[in-house]
Each structure stands twice: as C-alpha cells, then as structure tokens.
Amino acid sequence: MSEYKRPTSEIEFDHNFAQKKPLMNDTEAHFESSKCLFCYDAPCIQACPTGIDIPLFIKQINSGNLTGSARTIFESNWLGNACGKVCPTSELCEGACVFNHQDLPPIQIGRLQNFASSDAIKKDKKLFSVGPANGRKVAVIGSGGAGIACACELRTMGYEVDIFEAKSKPSGLTLHGIAAYKITNQEVEDEINYLEKQLGLNFICDHAIENKEQLAKLEQEYDAIFLGVGIGATAHIGLPGEDKANVIGAVEFIEELRMKHHQLKVPKRVIVIGGGNTAMDAASQSARLGAESVVLAYRRSKEDMGGYSFEYKFAISAGVDSLFNAQPVKIVGDETATGVQFIKTQSVSGKLENIVGSEYTVDADLVIKATGQAKQKHFLNLIDDLELDNRSRIVVNEKSFQCTNPKYFAGGDAVNGGAEIVNAAYEGKMAALGIENWLNAE
Amino acid sequence: MPNLSINFAGIKAPNPFWLASAPPTNSGYQVMKAFDAGWGGAVWKTLGVPVINVSSRYGAMNYGGSRMAGFNNIELITDRPLADNLKEIEEVKKYFPDHAVIASLMVETKEEWYQIIKDVENAGADGIELNFGCPHGMCERGMGSAVGQEPAVLQTIVEWVMEVANIPVITKLTPNISHIVDPGLAAARGGTNAISLINTIKSIIGIDLDTYAPYPVVDGKGTNGGYCGPAVKPIALEMVKELTQHPEIKNIPVSGIGGIETWRDAVEFILLGAESVQVCTAVMHYGFGIVREMKAGLEQFMIDKGYETIYDFKGKALPNVTEWKHLNLKHKVVASIDNDKCIGCELCYIACDDGAHQAIRIPETNGNRIPEIIDENCVGCNLCSLVCPVEECITMEQRDDGTQHLSWNDRSLADSIPTTFNDDRAGGKGHFVPTVDDALKHRKG
C-alpha cells in the first residue's frame, strides 16, 4: 500500500519526490571530506567510468579550494554535477571505497562531488574556455549526456559544433528519463546553461534528423558527425491488449512525469511490468504520485532482477508491492485495460517455464511496461555502411568511438545499449578526442 | 580503589589534575565549578600589574575534521581587579579547603613581588606559581618569558620570592629557549620549591588569506601568540624529562603542562617524573567535565597495573629515556601486514615508496590491492604502521633474537666505528635504491 498522498501542487510534488541525495551543507562537506584517506591509486577512481580524480577533489573541498575541486570534476566529466546526483554510486565509486572492507560507511562521494560542482554552477565560475577556432565543424545528433560531453570537449579544442535535438529542450534522458527524486529539472538546466555560457554550445532544438536528405546535408557541411541518439521508445512486447490507451511505456511515463510534475495524475491501481532499474523508477514514482496500489511484476525471481537491489529497496520503501515469477499473458479489459493476466513461472535448469494452469489476474487502472526500449534501428539504417550488432547497437572502435562509416562517431545508449549517464559522458568525450585524432590524421 | 591524592612540594590536592593558569581559572565562579566537577587543583589566572586585553584573542590549528589540534592566544594576565581576585580566592578556599588553590603571579619590582605574595597568602592560597613563561604582550614589558629566557634574572626574582614566601613556590618555565635546563637550574639555585612547565610556545597560528593578517586578527593586525593544545605535548614531555633526569633538579617536584587532554597524556607526564599535571586547552574545548575521563582513566590504569598511589609509578619511564648513542644497533624489526584486516588503501605502499625506504610493493598478480613488505629492504622505520588507518593491521615484528647488544657508544669505546662510507660497518652500505627507470616509469609522453 502506497503511503503518499497525491501531490496537488509543486510544493507537495517536491515533498513526495524529495531528493535522494540532497545537497550537503558546509559542515557536512567539511566532516565528510576530512574522512577520505587519499588512497594511493584509489579504487574509487578506477570504479568511475570517467576516471575523476576523486581523492583530489575531496582533498580540495577539505582544504577550501572549492573551485579547484569543481575543475577536477568537470575536467574528467562534463556532466559532473548530474552524475554526482544520479550515478548509482554504491555500485561505482562508493562501492569501491576501501572503508567498505572494514564495515565502515563509504565516503559519500556523489554528494561531495555535487557539493563542489553545484557551487561552481551557482557562482558561475569560469573554468573552461573555447579553444582557438580550428576551422572544423562537427554535427552532434542528440543532446543527451553523450552529445553534450562530445560537444563540450570539441569546443575546448576550437571546433564549431551544432547540436541537433528533436525535443524542445536539450539534455536527453537526464532531463526526461531520470526519476524526479534523483535530480530536479532545474539542476539539469543549470548545468547545461553553465556549460553553454562557457563553451557557447549551439543547440538546435525541435529539429529531428530523420531522413536521408538531412543526413546527406550534414555529411556535406560537417567534417564529422557524432551520433548520440540514445535508444528509442518503449518496445512492443507482443502482449494481447497491449495497444489499449492505459497501457503505456515506462520511458514515456517518466518523461511525462518530468515535464508535468504534479499535473500528471495516476489512477488508483498501477502495475509495472519489468525487473530493471527503469521498472523500479516507474513503480517508485507511481507510488509517489499517489497511486493507492503499485505492483511491480517480474517474470523471473527476485534474484534475477536486472535492477540494483538498492533501487528495489527504494521502491519497496515507497510502498510498492512486488510479484515475482509472474509472466504477463494478456491485458484484460474491453475498451480500456482493467488488469493483467499473469501465469506463474519457474526456472527449470536455467530455463524459464510457465506453470500450466496457474493463470491469475491482477486488477489495474494503469499498466506501465518497463520491458525495454526499441533501438533506433530504422534511423541508423539510413546511414551508409553503419554497422550495428545483433542487438542493434552501433559498432564502434572501443578507443576512438568511430563507427564503421568513418565520418561518424557515436557514444551513449546507442552504443552501449542503455547504461548510465556517466558512461555516456565518458564515451562522448572519448569520441571528441577520436574525431580530433582522425581529422588530424586525414 | 587507588589513592589519587598528592602532596606536591607541600601543596596537598585530592588528585593530580590541576587547571593551568589561564582563562578557565579567571574567576572564583569557574574554579568552584571546576572543583565541583572533580579537578584537584587550580592555578589562578595570573595576578599582577594592570593590563588591557584586546578583542579577538584566540586562534586554532584544525586538522582534517578535528578542531583545535593546536591553539594559541594573545590574551594577557588577568584584567580583573586584584582585590576581586583575592576575595574570590578566599571564598573558594572556604568552600574547598582540601583542594589546591595556587596563585599565579607576575609583577616587576622586588617591592611589588613582596606585596603581592603577602596579599595572596592572606587570601589563603596554598601556593604560588611564578609566571616566567608568557611569550606574548607581557614579555614586551620585561615580564613573563622575558624573565624565563634570562636565567640570571629568573634566579634573582626567585630569590626575592623565597625570602618572603611562607607557602610553596612553583616556578613556571617558558619553552621558548634552546636549553630548558638553564632556567631549570636557575630556578633550583634560586631555591624554588617546585617547577612547572611548559608555558606556551611563541607562535603564529595562521594567516588570513584575504586580509593577510595573522590570526587572531585585531583590526587588521596580529601578533605572535602562545601555542598550546594537543599538538605541543611531545615538546612538553621532552622538556619535563630534561629536568627530571637532571642530577641537580631531579629532586624538585615538577608539574607537567602541555597538550594534556586524556588520562593517557597525564600518565605519560607522570611516567616522565611529573607529580601533578595542569590542563587548559582541553577545558577551553570541552569544559570542566573532561576531567571525568581523565580521573577514570588514571584510576583504571592504576588498578590494571596494581599501583596504589601516583608515587608508585612516577618517573617509571625515565630509565628508558636515554641518548641515541646507547640504543641497540642489533635490534631489528620488520613490518608485517595482516592481509585479513588490510582494506587496500595502499597508503603504506606510497608512504614507504615516496617517503621512506622503498620496502613495500604491490604484487601485480593478486588483484586485491594488498601490499607486500619487501623484508630485505625494510629498515623497520614504522612509517607504514603509522599511516595505516586500520587498527592493528600493520605491526612491527622483532627479527633479532634479543641476545645481542651493541650501541654506537659501545662501538666508539671499542674503536669500531665506520670512518668512510665504504667501510663495511657503515650503515647505508648496500642499502637498496631503485633505478632511474623505476623512478620515471609512470612518466607521461
């Protein structure tokens, strides 16, 4: 049973979606930073996909060089503020903190990172500048984490960069696809504006690149093209009744929530199908929007869930119930969905089998599918010689992030199939360096 | 239960924990509160000539998450009227007849000394402490450390005092001198009944990076202060030892002062021959209640070791404090890492490699980040065990069998000291040093 009242104002929304990692105050940051051991060859650095020099930025916080601390962070990761808030730090840097080995709480690296980076953003500290113009132009398609990181890096090297964005606001999933209790819209926008001010990022929003003619034009006008297109809408899973209006995708649900906040209403009973982190987010957020009952239904066992256990616990703490070994059979209902019929499953020597005759129905007013996103296969196939792997991910060189069509580079979810923003930030930055090396070699 | 009471040069106190002459003993209110909390004695904030204090008086040296690892002040002696102080001393003694109240004094002329001694004796003080230590402000007027730094002057004043004093006299010394024995001897020769040390160390605690003025800043300017707090304890311990081991001074009772905050600190001073200890910074940080921890810890130590009085272990460490030349060159310890406790911070590795003797390696194969001691390179310096953040993870293990003893002194007497670096007996001969290539292996580009 969910414990949250339906938010009817922005204040109530902020209460229900209180930030999981709130900003530290000065005293908290001082004490927390004083605990860091400054490990040699620190495991936290190794665990960070962008390799931020974490002990250094923590020491800089403690010694009162907050600006230097922010520089250390942004030098490795252009989305250092967003990552401090939304990274699954217990699986990355904080999970690697040596304190874990003596059963001590790890240093709160994410929150310390945020403390330093948000200070620079708030005070508009100029840390970076556009490099001397080198006469080269790059088109970046998609303004998510990968695209922004690529563009920022290119700008410091003197490239002219145009960023094409289909939506009306830049930032991709950081703004549209992350649970609202992980980062606020304002925080996402502030970081982009901060980078934009220093590096003059040219966002061309409401401008989808979707046909061959547009691509041909880009190929002609730009020296290189970066694909930061992410992955697409929630995929069709072939469930009978799936097309009913109150059966929606989790990605779409989260985006609507991020844009509408308390104005988005959820009905009384919600079923979320899936076992990944997106499912956890969708379930937890449904509960926080005031749904009376939220059921997370996963076709395999609890242990098999792809979502992090801390995400699952967080959803449960919001009042989400869970069903395991529940394979959806069909959506029940005439005009609109009134429930989901499941069949019980069991694992027989590693293979999932339905238990014959074990069907049952759970009532619902809204069904959210968190069962994976369709890839951008159709769009990507418009590009000549662009190889995709068997899961429709763009094939790239693992160092330069150059595609099989050499004019194209790619990073983020379109390449890794759906990972964290920190991975996108790393890949976008590496692709920028790949572009530089490739053009220099030409 | 052990008996904590002391008879310090005739000054009796229920325990050896005294408040040092400082802001916590500025008034009868404070001293009575302190005695009520468990303190055994108090040295009253120095009485003397009229002064004016400045606003902004204290500065601190913080370390990591800890406040006041070091502390300094530019406050002068009491600025309260002498008559008020004398009245309050009398009052305290009425309420606490068995506690030690010692009047710290600082005046200039012989006549002034005579007069003020008479005053505090009439007020009922149990003893007198001569403040020859204050290293800021008062010394500019020829008092405090200005006296403590001139043994002849110090001795003369002690002699004046001893001519008239009817209660025990403690001479408080300044550490701002290269050889503490000189003022110690002067005090002894002047006839002092006891010695206390150390007063604060001349210091600049820090500089304000915006105003470029030293802390504590007084309207854009600052001055040197007196440094104290936990960070100064090692200096105080050494100076106490210098006196308690000196043949001409060792029979004079010593009150140890400097960075005492826990029972351990107090026991260390007593083991080096102090008979009472004086505390200031710990009280300024935590209040009088801190004495609960000190008393309980001292009692437990005495129970555990089977001591009945302070005098049972006073000076017990002194025979073990010797000169370097008498240390056993045959003694050999080597570091040992407990792999089960190691958390893989590798601080020991980098401390040894960059800061000591290149005797720790990170095995490339194990993948668990646990460093390895290279026994043949380990000189037993302790650095790794000191930087290790895990309790009892790195220990120093004895490798010699304990049967051999050979000191530099023994070798000198046997005319067996190395005379050239190529001498096989020279210490560093054959010591392992990595190559230039090793030094630059992480060089970029």
* pLDDT tens digit sequence for B341-361: 999 999 999 999 999 999 999
Task: Say whether pLDDT at A151 is over 80.
Answer: yes
Q: In A, residues 46-105, which contact B (CB 8 Å cutoff)?
A: 62, 98-102
At A7-28, the pLDDT tens digits run 999 999 999 999 999 999 999 9
pLDDT score, position B258: 98
Residues 6+ apart with CB under 8 A from A139: A161, A162, A164, A218, A221, A222, A224, A225, A226
Per the listing, tokens 């310096």 go with B381
From B255, B235, B228, B233, select the one nearest B244 (Cα to Cα).
B255
- Long-range (24+ apart) CB contacts under 8 A made by B157-163 are B157/B113, B157/B130, B157/B132, B157/B190, B158/B130, B158/B186, B158/B187, B158/B190, B158/B191, B158/B192, B159/B190, B159/B191, B160/B110, B160/B113, B160/B114, B161/B113, B161/B117, B161/B128, B161/B130, B161/B190, B162/B190, B162/B191, B162/B192
pTM, 2 dp: 0.93
pLDDT score, position A340: 97
- Interchain proximity A40–B390, CB inside 8 Å: no
Instruction: List helix spans (H) across B229-262.
Output: 233-244
Residues in B closer than 8 angstroms to A30, CB to CB, are 65
Output DSSP code: residue A155.
H
Cβ burial of B5 (10 Å; 0-12, 13-18, 19+) is middle
Six-digit token string for A273:
């199908």
At B76-91, the pLDDT tens digits run 999 999 999 999 999 9
For residue B209, give the chain A residue with the closest CA: A64
With a cut of 70, list the residues of chain B below it in pLDDT: 366, 445
Provide mean pLDDT across the span A238-243: 94
Output DSSP code: residue A5.
P
Cα separation of the two ends of chain B: 70
The mean pLDDT of chain A is 96
Residues 6+ apart with CB under 8 A from A161: A137, A138, A139, A140, A151, A154, A155, A201, A202
pLDDT-derived band at A215, boundaries 50, 70, 90 = very high
Residues in B closer than 8 angstroms to A62, CB to CB, are 64
Report d(CA A73, CA A52) in Å as an integer.
6
**Three-class secondary structure of residue A187 per DSSP:** helix
Residue B366 vs residue A283, higher pLDDT: A283
B347 touches chain A (CB under 8 A): yes
pLDDT score, position B441: 86
pLDDT score, position B134: 84
Provide mean pLDDT across the span A405-421: 96
pLDDT score, position B133: 86
- What ipTM was estimated for this complex? 0.90
Q: Which of B343, B346, B389 lies closest to A40 in CB terms?
A: B346
Say what angle helices A109-122 and A185-199 make with each other, to 10 degrees. Answer: 60
Q: Which of B64, B343, B362 lies closest to A101 in CB terms?
A: B343
CB A435 within 8 A of CB A425: no
- Interchain proximity A62–B64, CB inside 8 Å: yes
At A371-412, the pLDDT tens digits run 998 888 999 999 999 999 999 999 999 999 999 999 999 999
For residue B344, give the chain A residue with the closest CA: A98
Catalytic sites of B, residue numbers: 134
Residues 6+ apart with CB under 8 A from B139: B145, B146
CB B376 within 8 A of CB A67: no
Percent of chain A with pLDDT over 90: 96
CB B8 within 8 A of CB B165: no
pLDDT score, position B433: 82
Instruction: List helix spans (H) across B272-311.
Output: 281-286, 291-305
pLDDT score, position B435: 87
At A167-181, the pLDDT tens digits run 999 999 999 999 999
CB A315 within 8 A of CB A284: yes
pLDDT-derived band at A3, boundaries 50, 70, 90 = confident
Amino acid at B278: Q
Residue B199, min C-alpha distance to chain A (Å):
31
pLDDT score, position B70: 97
- Give the containing element (helix H, strand E) for B254: strand B254-257
pLDDT score, position A289: 96
Residues in B closer than 8 angstroms to A102, CB to CB, are 341, 343, 390
Task: Say whether pLDDT at A2 is over 70.
Answer: no
Residues 6+ apart with CB under 8 A from A108: A24, A32, A94
Residues 6+ apart with CB under 8 A from A313: none
pLDDT score, position B22: 97
Q: Mutate which of A27, A35, A40, A104 to test chain B, going by most B C-beta atoms within 10 A?
A: A40
The alpha carbon of residue B54 and the mean position of all alpha carbons in its chain are separated, in whole angstroms, by 27
Provide mean pLDDT across the span A103-107: 97
